[in-house]
Chain A
Amino acid sequence: MVATRDESEMTTTTTTIAAENAHVDPPPRNNGARVAYWLIAPGVVWMGLFLVLPMLMIVYVSFWTQTTFKIEPILTTKSWVTFFASDTYLGALGTTVRIWLTVLATTLLVGYPSALFVGLFVKNKTIQTVLLTLCVIPFWTSFLIRVLAWRPMLGKEGAINLILMKFGIITQPIEALLFSDLSVVIGMTQIYCVFMVGPIAFMLARIDPNIIEAARDLGAGFWRIFRTIILPLSMPGVVVGAIFVSVMVLGEFATSAALSGRKVNLLGNIIVTQVGSLKWAFAAVAGVILTIVIGAVVAGLLRIVDLRNEL
Chain B
Amino acid sequence: MQPLLTLNGIERRYGDVAALDGVSFSVAPGAYVALLGPSGSGKTTLLRVIAGFEQPDAGHVVFDGRRIRDIPTHRRGIGIVFQNFALFPHLTVEKNVSFGLLNRESETNMDRRAIDAKVRDMIALVGLKGLESRDMHQISGGQRQRVALARTLVTEPRLVLLDEPLGALDANLRARMRDELRSLHDRLGVTFLHVTGSEAEALAMGDTIIVLDRGRIAQVDLAESIYNHPASPQVARLLNCYNLFEGAVEGREFVSSVGRFPLDGARAPGRPGKASAYAIRHDRIAVRPVDRPISPDEAGLAATFVASEYSGSSVLSFFATAGGQVIEVEDHLSLREPPNYAQKQGYALAWEPRDALVFA
- Is B51 at the interface (CB under 8 A from chain A)? yes
Q: Are A228 and B99 in contact (CB under 8 A)?
A: yes
Q: What does the 1/0 interface line of A205-230 toward B look like (CB < 8 Å)?
A: 00010110111111111001100110
Q: Are B90 and A220 in contact (CB under 8 A)?
A: no
Q: A210-B82, A213-B73, A214-B82 are in contact. Are A219 and B104 (CB under 8 A)?
A: yes
- Is B229 at the interface (CB under 8 A from chain A)? no
B79 / chain A contacts, CB cutoff of 8 Å = 217-218
Q: Are B86 and A214 in contact (CB under 8 A)?
A: yes
Q: Are B106 and A215 in contact (CB under 8 A)?
A: no
B216 / chain A contacts, CB cutoff of 8 Å = none
Size of B's binding interface in residues, CB under 8 A: 25
B80 / chain A contacts, CB cutoff of 8 Å = 213-214, 217
- Is B182 at the interface (CB under 8 A from chain A)? no
Q: Are A211 and B73 in contact (CB under 8 A)?
A: no
- Is A138 at the interface (CB under 8 A from chain B)? no
Q: Which residue of B lies closest to A219 (CB)?
A: B104
8 Å CB contacts to A: which residues of B75-96? 75, 78-80, 82, 84, 86-90
Q: How far is the CB of B157 from chain A (nearest CB, A)?
A: 9
8 Å CB contacts to A: which residues of B34-64? 51, 53
Size of A's binding interface in residues, CB under 8 A: 18
Q: How far is the CB of B74 from chain A (nearest CB, A)?
A: 5
- Is B304 at the interface (CB under 8 A from chain A)? no
Q: Are A220 and B51 in contact (CB under 8 A)?
A: no
Q: Which residue of B lies closest to A229 (CB)?
A: B88
- Is A232 at the interface (CB under 8 A from chain B)? yes
- Is B144 at the interface (CB under 8 A from chain A)? no
CA distance A184 to B73 in the complex (A): 46
Q: What does the 1/0 interface line of A177-217 toward B look like (CB < 8 Å)?
A: 00000000000000000000000000000001011011111
Q: Are A215 and B99 in contact (CB under 8 A)?
A: yes
Q: Are A218 and B104 in contact (CB under 8 A)?
A: yes
B243 / chain A contacts, CB cutoff of 8 Å = none
- Is B151 at the interface (CB under 8 A from chain A)? yes
Given contacts A215-B88, A220-B104, 9 further A-B pairs with CB under 8 A are A208-B86, A211-B87, A216-B72, A217-B79, A218-B74, A218-B151, A219-B100, A219-B103, A232-B90
